[in-house]
Chain A
């Protein structure tokens, strides 16, 4: 069985999944339909409740 994993969607959920899988040593293919990853979160300014910059 191939151990590579496909993650569809490069928003915060897709990116976190990809990162955790990659940290486990698994090769991940992350597909995003837009030119850049980040999804909705990349459009936010500061995020509640810690006021961290979303980007």
Chain B
């Protein structure tokens, strides 16, 4: 124990969260209860503890009441724990002598209609938090150097943009592309909406900038086969035609893109008379056959269904763009778009949509329960307003299919230890707080690897990911949270390696020491998940701020 029990002075701050918590729990009762808990010398209720006023109250409490432990009972630690910790730090208290109790998500939100039970549960949680806080020990942040080089995986528009942005800031890096040429899906496109510039021009310009930049090493026909390390110190194996290249880098950007869904077996797809929107781009690029007079497009083919519930977002704008281009090339051609809902977000897209209607593109809504039928020379669709089937003559049928995740997304996911979602797209660290970062520090993502993105979005995300990756690169070092695994009892460790096999972050290794084989924690790589400590049958490993002693104290407090 760090200090004698009588020295411990805990301050409990109960947050009303406006009416989010106080509207459903009896805060007065909770405050009275908290005052009687062991070591608690100060209790205060705040309207919003996370507001400037609330933060100042914590600081004032630490200074004026000589608090040496702080407990905040409020919302989720995911968003506010770092704030409260740093506030403790600013007031001169070690930031890790802080404990957070979630009485919003776990009490007021889930027990909105049971004030008494909800309040009792909040009391239990506060009592447990206080019991743990009494045993907390100060921790020091961990500093580690960063190798000032980056690796971008994927040479499509997002990856090229990222690599260029980093290179232009003066950071060296590698760009790995699986195919022979850079450019990704952009190589198959014709003109790009809404400005109708040629895709080839964009690819050529970007490729020239990338290959001509001395800060970027391009690996084509190449794959990442091995990734070891952690933020600042990654060792990566790249398999190329001329053998395996090993590079040392500090950060990784995932820009592996998406893959167009091939609608085998849907709407008589044959790649000739019934084609995908991507194949349509090729037809337009080659100059459309003037004999094509009637075109029918069908939206949401293979998406927004049970298997793929998501909307790929970019197919509607592609369909409208291609419909306009068909009408430009063959002015007498009739183009009909059969849709479920039109996804035309943004000023230019909406304008293009309006423009296309004025120029004679026909839009017919269809019901997914009664989908269009593709027949040899026509498409039959049920028109809800007319209340009957309509036959549309069709020389060409174009299916708008979604972008799906890459086949090797799972492989990359395993190599980098980053998650993918239920559709196989890479999952960001947090929708709003870390949209271009993974939960694992030092790895970033952009473009359609995350979710179908149009060119503008892929470029914006590419620039954003490069910007985020620049933070550790420009600092040259990283500070990591010290809530990590430690070998608390070296003698107990038998070097069995069970923890090494189970660690999801590759943060453990077995080292030979004078005392024999012992586990070593790579502190920068450890995320403090606790799997190792829970597994170690010798109780040799322990997690800072989650020691057996602290957790046992919480359990005992609960059972009191």
Residues of A in contact with B (beta carbons under 8 Å apart)? 20, 23-25, 47, 49-50, 52-53, 55
Contact = CB atoms under 8 A, between A and B. Distances in A.
A20 B79 CA distance: 17
Given A23-B475, A25-B475, A47-B432, A53 B468 contact: no
B432 A50 contact: yes
The 4 residue pairs across chains A and B that have the minimum distance between CB atoms: A24-B474, A23-B471, A52-B79, A50-B431
Nearest to B79: A52
A50 B430 contact: yes
Nearest to B76: A52
Interface in B36-87: 48, 50-51, 75-76, 78-79
A47 to B, nearest CB: 7
A20 B470 CA distance: 9
A20 B431 contact: no
Contacts of B474: 24-25
Interface residues of B, number: 19
A53 B79 contact: yes
A49 B310 CA distance: 15
14 contacts: A23-B471, A23-B475, A24-B471, A25-B474, A25-B475, A50-B431, A50-B432, A52-B79, A53-B17, A53-B50, A53-B75, A53-B79, A55-B50, A55-B51
A36 to B, nearest CB: 9
A24 B51 CA distance: 26
Nearest to B80: A53
B356 interface: no
Contacts of B51: 55
Given A52-B79, A53-B75, A20 B467 contact: yes
B20 interface: yes
A53 B20 contact: yes
Given A24-B471, A25-B475, A52-B76, 6 more contacts: A49-B431, A52-B78, A52-B79, A53-B17, A53-B20, A55-B51
A52 B397 CA distance: 45
Contacts of A24: 470-471, 474-475
B473 to A, nearest CB: 9
Nearest to A25: B474
Contacts of B430: 50
A7 B305 CA distance: 43
A55 B48 CA distance: 10
A52 B468 contact: no
Contacts of B17: 53
Given A53-B79, A55-B48, A20 B20 contact: no
Interface in B453-496: 467-468, 470-471, 474-475
B469 to A, nearest CB: 11
Nearest to B472: A23
Contacts of B50: 53, 55
Interface string B268-303: 000000000000000000000000000000000000
A23 B78 CA distance: 20
Contacts of A55: 48, 50-51
A20 B432 contact: no
B396 to A, nearest CB: 39
Contacts of B432: 47, 50, 52
A41 B475 CA distance: 30
A37 B79 CA distance: 18
A28 B79 CA distance: 24
A25 B51 CA distance: 26
A20 B75 CA distance: 25
Contacts of A52: 76, 78-79, 432-433
Interface hub of A25, A47, A53, A55 (most chain B Cβ within 10 A) = A53
A46 to B, nearest CB: 9
B428 to A, nearest CB: 11
Contacts of A47: 432
A42 B471 CA distance: 26
Interface in B407-440: 430-433
Contacts of B75: 53
Given A49-B431, A53-B75, A20 B468 contact: yes
A23 B472 CA distance: 8
A49 to B, nearest CB: 6
Contacts of A50: 430-432
B253 to A, nearest CB: 15
A53 B431 CA distance: 13
Contacts of A53: 17, 20, 50, 75, 79
A22 B490 CA distance: 41
Contacts of A25: 474-475
B474 to A, nearest CB: 4
Given A47-B432, A49-B431, A20 B48 contact: no
A31 to B, nearest CB: 19
A24 B471 CA distance: 5
A51 to B, nearest CB: 9
A51 B434 CA distance: 15
Contacts of B20: 53
A53 B78 CA distance: 11
A52 B109 CA distance: 12
